[in-house]
Amino acid sequence: MTESEETIDRYAVVGQPIAHSRSPVIHKLFAQQTGEQLDYEAIEASPEHFETAVRGFGAAGGKGLNITVPHKQAAYELCNDCGPEANQARAVNTITIAADGHLRGDNTDGRGFMRDLTENLEQPVADQRVLILGAGGAARGIIAPLLAAEPAAIVLANRTIERAEALIEELGAPDGILPLTFEALESESPFDFVINATSIGLRGEDPPFPESCVGPDSFCYDLAYSLKDTPFVAWARELNAMQAVQGWGMLVEQAAESFEIWRGVRPDTAPILKQMKR
Ligand code: ATR
The per-residue pLDDT for range 151-173, each reduced to its tens digit, is 999 999 999 999 999 999 999 99
**DSSP state, residue 267:** -
Return the CATH superfamily for domain 3-107.
Answer: Leucine Dehydrogenase, chain A, domain 1 (3.40.50.10860)
Q: Are 253 and 224 in contact (CB under 8 A)?
A: no
Q: Are 267 and 256 in contact (CB under 8 A)?
A: yes
Q: Are 267 and 30 in contact (CB under 8 A)?
A: yes
So what's the pLDDT on residue 160?
97
d(CA 144, CA 7): 39
Under 8 Å CB-to-CB from 144, ≥6 apart: which residues? 85, 88, 89, 110, 171
Question: How remote is the CA of residue 12 from the centroid of ligand 1, in Å?
Answer: 26
Give me the chain's average pLDDT, please: 95
Count of CB atoms within 10 A of residue 149's CB?
Answer: 15
Under 8 Å CB-to-CB from 148, ≥6 apart: which residues? none
Q: Is 161 in the pocket of ligand 1 (CB under 6 A)?
A: no
Instruction: Encode pLDDT of 97-135 as tens digits.
Output: 999 999 999 999 999 999 999 999 999 999 999 999 999
3-state helix, strand, coil split of the chain in percent (to 5) is 40, 20, 40
d(CA 76, CA 19): 23
Task: Assess whether pLDDT exceeds 50 at residue 3.
Answer: no
Question: How remote is the CA of residue 8 from the centroid of ligand 1, in Å?
Answer: 39
What is the residue with the minimal CA distance to atom 6 of ligand 1?
136
So what's the pLDDT on residue 6?
56
Question: How remote is the CA of residue 246 from the centroid of ligand 1, in Å?
Answer: 17
Q: Is 114 in the pocket of ligand 1 (CB under 6 A)?
A: no
- Report, as an integer, the average pLDDT of 64-72: 96
Q: Which of 73, 155, 167, 198 to mutate to test the pocket of ligand 1 (most atoms within 8 A of CB)?
A: 198
Q: Is 176 in the pocket of ligand 1 (CB under 6 A)?
A: no
Return the CATH superfamily for domain 110-249.
Answer: NAD(P)-binding Rossmann-like Domain (3.40.50.720)
Q: Are 102 and 49 in contact (CB under 8 A)?
A: no
So what's the pLDDT on residue 121?
97
The full set of domain ranges for the chain reads 3-107, 110-249
Under 8 Å CB-to-CB from 187, ≥6 apart: which residues? none
Instruction: Encode pLDDT of 224-277 as tens digits.
Output: 998 889 999 999 999 999 999 999 999 999 999 999 999 999 999 999 999 988
Please list the active-site residues: 72
So what's the pLDDT on residue 182?
97
